[in-house]
Amino acid sequence: MSSEQQGLRTTTASREGKGAPQTLPVPRPLSPRSGAAQKVVSGLRLRTTFSMTGGRSVWGGGLCVLGEDLACVGGRGSVRTVDMTGRVTRTVRVCGSESWCGSIGRGDDGEVFVGRYGDRNISRVSADGAVSTFSSSTFSPDGLTQLSSGRLLVCGGYEGLYTVTGWGVQGVELGVNVECAVDVSVNSKGDVAVADRDGGKVYILDGQYKHVGTYSPKKLGPFRPESLTSDGENFVICDADSRTIHTIDRRGVCLSVYHTTDDCQEKPYRVDMLPSNCVWVLFAGGQVCVYNQISSDSAMDRYINSTVAEMSSEQQAQRTTTASRDGKGAYKTFPVPRPLSPRSGAAQKVLSGLRLRTTFSMAGDRYVWGRRVVCNGGRPGVCRRTG
């Protein structure tokens, strides 16, 4: 993390659902250049979970979300389409059982592309279940995604990154040293994220594959990104070693970290989603968890929007002025209130407002009851005079 990022506001990714909130201090994303509020993801909430029959030995391959409540899960020689209840709606035999359907990517008109890890081929499965060979290569496809041009962007593990069409394979020159590229995703703005499993990093590239940012968290210990996807603007990563799901923005700044240990004791190794849709995570052992993404579109975002809208052009040009909370260091931010970072590892309590519960008057006036009120732990005798 750069010194500028470390100086940014520390936010929290709070978890709702089972158990206590699990929070990590993460930097605040930079203010958007256009003046519009950036989509801020504050965490995940478990929606449902189910297990694939046969476990990882059968269904240890790719994952691809097809719609609101449908996903395609790869295994030995075949792919299944399942809904959120775990009910299998279709099974398609893609290849022999000696090959794994290790990576799956969405195509056009309901088709999917399946990377076959054993025989190093990529198959196309049409919406009606017809299977054809899309391309053959000299590497095993670990992760793939379709570009707007129709070409496939494919990770070849230790072989690097490639663009693949029906008539050829071409290597991609990257401005960074990727040790083992295991998955790739593209957001709506054309930014490319590459998961380097052995290097413990996620590289953000622009549309010309020039290096824009790097994400490599240090506080969690070893970072092993196995898979990633995009929600349209940000990127969602599953880390197998720490059993966490990370959400980062297009500059590589962390927005939230979610711990999956209460949902599944196995390691997460595949994640996928459609923009503005649920996050599907495939765990070792064949369990699937589906999460709702929690976006911070509350009073803070409305305040930021209204503040920017009311600024003059001169104020908008100066809205990233340097400020400092304690006189040491600096950060660039909107002139909006910011919660202090938690001093311990516990989750920070973030308030979005107050709601009147009840009201009463004390006998006498301020000269009798105008000093201090101390709560009595919620027990009878709600308050007492202390001075």
What are 341-360's pLDDT values in tens digits? Answer: 333 344 444 454 576 788 87
- Distance CA(356)–CA(65), nearest Å, equals 43
Q: Are 254 and 41 in contact (CB under 8 A)?
A: no
pLDDT at 61 over 70: yes
Q: In what order do the strands lie in the sheet with 244-248?
A: 225-230, 235-239, 244-248, 254-259
What is the pLDDT of the chain when averaged over all its residues?
74
CA 199 remoteness from chain centre: 19
- Distance CA(367)–CA(213), nearest Å, equals 60
* Digit-coded pLDDT (tens) for 97-125: 788 888 999 998 889 999 988 788 899 99
Percent of the chain with pLDDT over 70: 65
Strands 70-74 and 63-65: antiparallel
- Distance CA(65)–CA(104), nearest Å, equals 9
pLDDT at 230 over 90: yes
Domains of the chain by start residue, with CATH:
3-295 (2.120.10.30)
> For 53-67, 168-182, 238-252, 323-337, which range has the lowest pLDDT when averaged over its residues?
323-337
Q: List the structure tokens of 108.
A: 């056009």
pTM recorded for the entire structure? 0.67
150-165 mean pLDDT: 90
pLDDT at 366 over 90: no
Strands 225-230 and 101-106: unpaired
Write the CA distances from 239 to 4, 206, 225, integer angstroms: 25, 23, 5
pLDDT at 270 over 90: yes
pLDDT at 96 over 90: no
pLDDT of residue 311: 52
